[in-house]
Amino acid sequence: MDGKICMVTGGTSGIGKATSLALARMGATIIVVGRDQKKSKQTVDKMRTVSGNSLVDYLIADLSSQKDIYELAKQFKNQYNHLDILVNNAGAKFVLRKVTVDGYEMTFALNHLAYFLLTNLLLDVLKDSGNARIINVSSGAHRGISGIAFDDLQSQKAYIGKRAYAQSKLANVIFTYELSRRLQGTGITANALAPPGTASNFCKNNGMISWFKHITAHVLAGNLVGPAEALQRQVSIWQHPLTYRVLPGNISSIRKRFLLQMPLMTKKEPGIFGK
């Protein structure tokens, strides 16, 4: 990974932090995207020490704000002339409905619209890489709904945090399929993955009870792992992204093709999809 430039959103904790550190240890130049200045600096300083790689830096952005996303892309382009790997990882679940500064429902804005906007703003520098990879972190939670509620994307009629999260993750899956189709012939490979239940800070924004319920559910399901183990599903994508021929179909068939690969996820053969 020497000479490769990588951006990881949500890189100050959990899987994003483990991802950034692993790439740093491989010798890549890492841009960690975080919301908090102090936490981002502390995280990056520690990564530099642990990895022995001084080419680790950070950029600050609240990815629920489209203004911040535009500024993030601008700052990156001012400092770097290409991007080899983009990991769209930042996301959250919200028990109560919240609205962003732009007026969008928070879950959909942070978990999906941020992926969509940042990726499109960085497509030119990804193309300049010649062989770039886009990795969208989705979730197996998307099987909890039958489809996208296009008549209520902002969950104004009824809000259930679990459903809003599942919808945002299904949107990640559909976005990746279409992105992959549109990028054929560009040298960019788009992939998505569903990490296992991970022991991290996920759900702590809703309070400790919500976090405990989240952890307990995965413990009882027997699929709770640490961030480092969850990271293994990404490793092969960085070095050998798999490509799949995208077939025409509706949301149900797209979801079925994605889910069929989930049981095949191993350290050697991650359950992902792409072109």
Residue labelled with tokens 């995965």:
218
Nearby residues of 209 by Cβ (< 8 Å), 6 or more positions away: none
Rounded CA-CA distance 12/35 in Å is 9
H or E element that contains 94: none
Q: Which of 115, 165, 177, 244 is catalytic?
A: 165
Q: Is residue 159 flagged as an active site residue?
A: no
Give 85's Cβ-side CA count (13 Å radius): 30
Residues in the chain, how many? Answer: 275
- What is the maximum alpha-carbon separation in the chain? 51
Strand extents, DSSP E, the chain = 5-9, 29-34, 56-60, 85-88, 133-137, 189-193, 197-198, 224-225, 272-273
Task: Return the active site residues.
Answer: 165
